[in-house]
């Protein structure tokens, strides 16, 4: 009986998505095809997933990495990555986001040539499946576009075979003035095909050609890909650039209702195959729009907290947490079955669109200037009025923390650790970029070699060179990894740091940022308090509102907090996690 109900639900999704499209097959037939393709066959016992179920807890920490961020001669980089994880991330990392590891032609993997195979330069499916035995793996589903060198696009040009009708085209005479663009390249790519010139839609670059999901064959192809990835060990799916998926001429072509319904459809299919799989939407857009991807706990399980990186970096370089605090108070608690994915560094830069409406243009300009002073680059986009606006800052987080708006200073490591301490205690699942974990600096050589600003934060480490630095107690890399590993291990032991535990923002002035977390069973409280300035700060313990009958301890330093009428002295960029000791 449940299969009939599931079929009805899938049909409802499809009717909503394709309401304005003439389909080549009945909706019921398409629903059956999708269910069979994902592996929900007629004779299967299909159990609906429990609603509002959290498939995560405080022990979940994700490392974000390329398949070849660490390499060693005569070894598949994916095997080297496995060795790195076992050597340096034991008892800290339990989930790994391996950025696109498929054959590609540009954008460091996000211009996929073949979705069904592993890039030979990285390894093979056996290497992926080996990693999946020890870590929950996040796979990228690069769903908006593929490489112009893919077999599908070759068939599009030839007008023959699979892919011949997979791509979105428009006319230069169409009104495209409202289309939201993340890049400055022309939107349409003139392409000579067997049946004439066509103008192919390219949201990101002319090597990244956009799919036309009005054609249900594209949807079927991606459901086949999803099934393959599940079979190969995927436990998290990152839907890359999904906000741009559906296009309607005359609109802004971003966040359209059909896009949201498509995500709901994919969730319905995936969670009936494995209710433990998590869907994360990568939507680098203003904060209020980003929040819509939770749906009503029926869309993304998790959304990237894109506003956190620019707001946190701005906080640390200005010594003023006002904007971060105001934003945090405005963020709705994620209901059970949904959560935030927190990160402060990634393979991309520090996105500035999610700061729009939170920071003024002048404040963004000051932030950009400071990051350029620290060796950062800037990527630009065209605004709705054709103006050039900064789209993201390209810099490693370690270098972004080298000083304040006044210039570089001696607090780089402490400021960097403070940033992570704030992120690790927050509501949500934390994600740490491998280059933050090991304190990597700006890679200017790679920028020069590729001509791409984003390469500044995509260094490829020789494993033996990195290992020597990580094993040396005097290197910045050793200090960073040691201190971050300590924070992660502490985090994983606290029930108050469950991604859905209660969070309340504290009011401790401009220079001190704080929030309170309480475990779901209400037995443990942790007060997370950080000095985000370059001068010592004194906080009256009574202002934090610690309960006098409890015993309190700083989980990081292990120092007891005794006299609650005293002041708490915080060194520049020091964080304390004050917990009641009877939480166990």
Query: Was 207 annotated as part of a binding site?
Result: no
> DSSP secondary-structure letter at 12?
H
Query: Was 239 annotated as part of a binding site?
Result: yes
Query: Was 240 annotated as part of a binding site?
Result: yes
- Output the CA–CA distances (angstroms, integers) from residue 339 to 54, 295, 419, 503, 529, in the order listed: 8, 12, 20, 13, 22
What is residue 260's three-state secondary structure? helix
Query: In the annotation, is 240 catalytic?
Result: yes
Query: Was 149 annotated as part of a binding site?
Result: no
CB atoms within 10 A of CB 413: 17
- Tokens describing residue 278: 């998590």
DSSP string across 385-454:
TS-EEEEEEE--HHHHTSEETTEE-S-HHHHHHHHHHHHHHSSSEEEEEHHHHTT----HHHHHHH--GG
Query: Was 176 annotated as part of a binding site?
Result: no
Query: Was 369 annotated as part of a binding site?
Result: no
27-38 helix and 257-273 helix, angle to the nearest 10 degrees: 50
- Output the CA–CA distances (angstroms, integers) from residue 30 to 4, 5, 221, in the order listed: 14, 15, 12
Q: How far apart are CA 497 and CA 362, in angstroms?
A: 35
Of the residues 68, 240, 443, 534, only one is catalytic, namely: 240
DSSP string across 42-107:
TTS---PPPTT-----TT--EEEE-TTSEE-TTS-HHHHHHHHHHHH-TTT--EEEE---S-BSSG
Query: Was 189 annotated as part of a binding site?
Result: no
Query: Was 107 annotated as part of a binding site?
Result: yes
DSSP string across 189-249:
EEEEETTEEEEEE-SSBTTEEEB-TTSHHHHHHHHHHHHHHHHTTEEEEEEETGGGS---T
- Tokens describing residue 410: 């001696």
CB atoms within 10 A of CB 290: 24
Q: What is the dihedral of CA 50, 54, 55, 59, to 10 degrees?
A: -160
Residues in binding site for substrate: 107, 145, 238-240, 347-348, 454
Residues in binding site: 107, 145, 238-240, 347-348, 454
Catalytic residues: 240
């Amino acid at each position: 009986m449940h299969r009939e109900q599931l079929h009805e639900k899938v049909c409802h999704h499809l009717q909503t998505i394709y309401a304005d499209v003439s389909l080549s097959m009945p909706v019921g037939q398409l629903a059956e095809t999708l269910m069979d393709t994902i592996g929900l066959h007629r004779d299967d016992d299909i159990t609906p997933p429990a609603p509002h179920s959290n498939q995560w807890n405080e022990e979940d920490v994700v490392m974000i990495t390329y398949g070849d961020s660490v390499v060693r001669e005569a070894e598949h980089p994916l095997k080297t990555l496995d060795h790195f994880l076992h050597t340096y991330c034991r008892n800290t990392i339990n989930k790994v986001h391996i950025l696109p590891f498929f054959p590609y032609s540009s954008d460091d993997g996000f211009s996929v040539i073949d979705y069904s195979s592993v890039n030979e330069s990285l390894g093979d499916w056996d290497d992926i499946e080996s990693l999946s035995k020890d870590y929950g793996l996040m796979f990228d589903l690069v769903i908006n576009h593929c490489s112009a060198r893919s077999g599908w696009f070759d068939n599009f040009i030839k007008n023959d075979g699979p892919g011949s009708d997979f791509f979105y085209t428009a006319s230069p005479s169409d009104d495209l003035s409202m289309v939201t663009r993340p890049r400055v390249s022309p939107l349409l790519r003139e392409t000579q095909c067997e049946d004439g010139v066509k103008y192919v839609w390219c949201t990101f670059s002319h090597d990244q050609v956009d799919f036309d999901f009005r054609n249900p064959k594209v949807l079927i192809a991606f459901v086949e890909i999803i099934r393959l990835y599940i079979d190969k060990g995927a436990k998290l799916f990152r839907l890359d650039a999904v906000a741009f998926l559906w296009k309607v001429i005359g609109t802004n072509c971003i966040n359209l209702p059909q896009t949201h319904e498509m995500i709901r459809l994919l969730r319905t299919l995936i969670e009936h195959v494995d209710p433990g799989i998590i869907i994360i939407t990568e939507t680098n857009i203003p904060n209020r729009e980003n929040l819509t991807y939770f749906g009503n706990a029926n869309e993304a399980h998790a959304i990237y907290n894109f506003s956190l990186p620019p707001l946190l970096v701005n906080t640390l370089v200005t010594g003023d947490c006002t904007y971060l605090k105001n934003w945090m108070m405005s963020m709705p608690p994620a209901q059970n079955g949904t959560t935030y994915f927190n990160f402060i560094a990634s393979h991309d830069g520090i996105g500035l669109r999610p700061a729009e409406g939170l920071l003024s243009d002048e404040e963004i300009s000051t932030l950009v200037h400071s990051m350029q002073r620290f060796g950062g680059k800037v990527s630009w986009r065209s605004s709705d009025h054709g103006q050039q606006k900064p789209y993201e800052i390209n810099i490693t987080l370690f270098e972004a923390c080298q000083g304040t708006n006044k210039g570089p200073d001696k607090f780089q490591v402490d400021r960097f650790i403070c940033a992570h301490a704030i992120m690790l205690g927050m509501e949500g699942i934390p994600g740490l970029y491998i280059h933050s974990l090991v304190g990597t600096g700006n890679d200017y050589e790679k920028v020069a070699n590729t001509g791409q600003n984003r390469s500044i934060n995509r260094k490829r480490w020789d494993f033996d060179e990195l290992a020597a630095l990580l094993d040396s107690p005097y290197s910045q890399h050793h200090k960073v990894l040691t201190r971050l590993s300590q924070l992660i291990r502490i985090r994983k032991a606290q029930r108050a740091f469950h991604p859905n535990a209660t969070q309340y923002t504290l009011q401790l002035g401009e220079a001190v940022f704080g929030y309170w977390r309480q475990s779901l069973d209400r037995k443990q409280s942790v007060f997370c308090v950080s000095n985000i300035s370059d001068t010592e700060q004194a906080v009256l313990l009574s202002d934090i509102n610690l309960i006098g009958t409890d015993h309190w301890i700083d989980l990081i330093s292990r120092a007891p907090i005794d006299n609650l009428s005293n002041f708490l002295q915080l060194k520049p960029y020091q964080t304390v996690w004050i917990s009641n000791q009877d939480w166990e």
